[in-house]
Amino acid sequence: MKTELYNAKTQKENGTGVAGRVIRAGGLVVFPTETVYGLGANGLDGEAVAKIFEAKGRPNDNPLILHVAKKSDVRPLWVKIPDTARLLMDEFWPGPLTLVYLKSSIVPDAVTAGLDTVAVRMPEHRTALALIRAAGVPIAAPSANLSGKPSPTRIEHVLEDMDGRVDVMLDGGPCSVGVESTVLSLVGTPTILRPGGVTKEMLESVIGTVRVANAVLNPLGENEVAASPGMKYRHYAPDCEVVVAEGSPRRAASIINREYSLAESEGKNCIIFATEQTKSYYKGKKYVIIGDRDMPSSLCASLFAALRDESGGTDIIFAEAIPAREQGLAYMNRLLRASGFTVLNN
């Protein structure tokens, strides 16, 4: 398959129109959002959705998200719109919040992995919204990467994984948030299934108590059902080992320095993901500064790009754990899954 690429200039002229026709015809389109790049198909066409799983090598028991261009597009997709959903849509849409509720009969089982719920969001990106409007249907889309690899936040990441596997790519520049949307189930007690840019604290300021699913910071058992993308399998993994060190900044750095020296003595190439506050602890070692511990959003914005950019020729990436609160919860969720829950604390 030959993939057509439209850049920011040309897509204003005809890229989203071409891509919309491809979606309606049952093809695959890569498009930018504020979170990560998505791999989209007609969300009401089960055969088109099946192509997503084939292109990614994605297990078909991993549900997808439907992307819409306006709030009223949700009504046909759910059995009803709960009051809590209306409040959250008014506050956070368009934006990096996905809402999960009971699906209607028009949503194919291929989208939901056979579940009776479907996840829906309205992205905050002009190109994404223009594409959905041009397509005239909800667009089912996971991240536009090969299954298990770090999600793409730049078009060059997408080209590495998807060139020749999709019909059209729309280049919208770097993604600003850098991690996938928060996924919130509204079936029963509101529960975060996957953390993202919209935090627990932000949600609770609108609707009150919000739970966090145990699988956010822990592995989901092989016999447990994945209720959201990013829950069941090892995700976000680069082409090398990732090791996470827990503890205070000084303690985590001490663990990393010890393990780095040991690995180096065994002939392994290592790199450290440092923060602005800890860079001085790693003198004489190879490190990159990926953000500020006091601003977890900066770590989220650069994590996936760093995992891809720094894994070439590297055997081990060492990274510091941070407190799992506010956007630090999203960062730790991605980092732990990238490491396969390989964590050192002593």
For the chain, where are the E strands, in sequence order?
Answer: 4-6, 29-31, 38-42, 65-67, 97-102, 117-121, 139-141, 168-170, 182-185, 191-194, 211-212, 241-245, 270-274, 287-289, 316-320, 343-344
Task: Output the average pLDDT for the chain.
Answer: 94
What number is the average pLDDT over the span 144-149? 92
Report whether pLDDT(14) > 80.
no
What number is the average pLDDT over the span 169-181? 95
Report whether pLDDT(308) > 60.
yes
pLDDT of residue 234: 62
pLDDT of residue 61: 82
pLDDT of residue 229: 64
pLDDT of residue 1: 84
pLDDT of residue 224: 62
- Hey, CA dihedral for 179, 197, 332, 259, is it positive or negative? positive
pLDDT of residue 160: 94
Evaluate whether 300 touches 329 at the Cβ level (below 8 Å): no
Report whether pLDDT(45) > 90.
yes
Residue 218's Cβ-count burial label (10 Å; 0-12, 13-18, 19+) is: exposed
Report whether pLDDT(304) > 90.
yes
pLDDT of residue 9: 61
Q: Dump pLDDT digits (tens) for 325-340.
A: 999 999 999 999 999 9
Chain-centroid distance of CA 126 in Å reads 19
- The pLDDT-based confidence of 237 (bands split at 50, 70, 90) is confident
First to last CA, the chain: 50
Evaluate whether 87 touches 71 at the Cβ level (below 8 Å): no
- 117-121 β-sheet, strand order: 4-6, 168-170, 29-31, 38-42, 139-141, 65-67, 117-121, 97-102, 182-185, 191-194, 211-212
**Both tokens assigned to 224:** 């447990």
- The pLDDT-based confidence of 271 (bands split at 50, 70, 90) is very high
In single-letter form, the type of residue at position 305 comes to: A
- The pLDDT-based confidence of 227 (bands split at 50, 70, 90) is low
Report whether pLDDT(230) > 70.
no
The domains of the chain, with CATH numbers, are 4-216 (3.90.870.10), 241-344 (3.40.50.11030)
Report whether pLDDT(232) > 60.
no
- The pLDDT-based confidence of 267 (bands split at 50, 70, 90) is very high
pLDDT of residue 223: 61
Q: Dump pLDDT digits (tens) for 58-82.
A: 888 889 999 999 999 999 999 999 9
Q: Dump pLDDT digits (tens) for 91-131.
A: 999 999 999 999 999 999 999 999 999 999 999 999 999 99
Is 144 or 231 the better-scoring residue by pLDDT?
144
312: number of Cβ within 10 Å: 10
What number is the average pLDDT over the span 284-292? 97
